[in-house]
Amino acid sequence: MKTRPVVLRTVAARDIAAAIGHYQSEGPSTLPLNFIAATESAFKHIGQFPGSGSPKYGTALNLPGLRSWPVEGFPYLVFYMETASHLDVWRVLHAERDIPTSILGG
């Protein structure tokens, strides 16, 4: 099976950087690296199996095609849409955030 490229929107890259910064200040020194590895693993998974993410938020927000996939071991979700050439990662958000406002508000 061919893996599709995963392309992050600027705001998704900022989400990841903010999470890494939080883990650098709040946890053991290995925590940021573990978060990065888990995020990369999530990207690899959705690149191989783009339809496996949950459409729950896409349905609730009337955004057909929006899916989410968890970052294993961390309370984060990757929000993405499948395009013909790649996976478009919209956001990487903490699961306790106001997801609809965060996605729609940018």
pLDDT in tens, 1-15: 688 999 999 999 999
Give the mean pLDDT of the chain. Answer: 94
Would you say 59 and 65 are in contact if contact means Cβ atoms under 8 Å apart?
Answer: no
User: What's the CATH code of the domain at 51?
Assistant: 3.30.2310.20
The string of pLDDT tens digits covering residues 81-106 is 999 999 999 999 999 988 888 888 75
Domain count for the chain: 1
Report yes or no on 74 lying in a domain.
yes
Helix/strand/coil percent split, the chain, to 5: 45, 25, 30
Q: Which of 56, 51, 69, 70 is nearest to 100 (CA)?
A: 56
If DSSP codes are grouped into helix, strand and coil, which group holds residue 1?
Answer: coil
Residue 76 lies in a domain: yes
pTM here?
0.94
Tell me whether residue 1 is in a domain. Answer: no
Q: What are phi and psi of 92, to 5 degrees?
A: -130, 100
By residue range, what is the domain housing residue 16?
A: 6-105
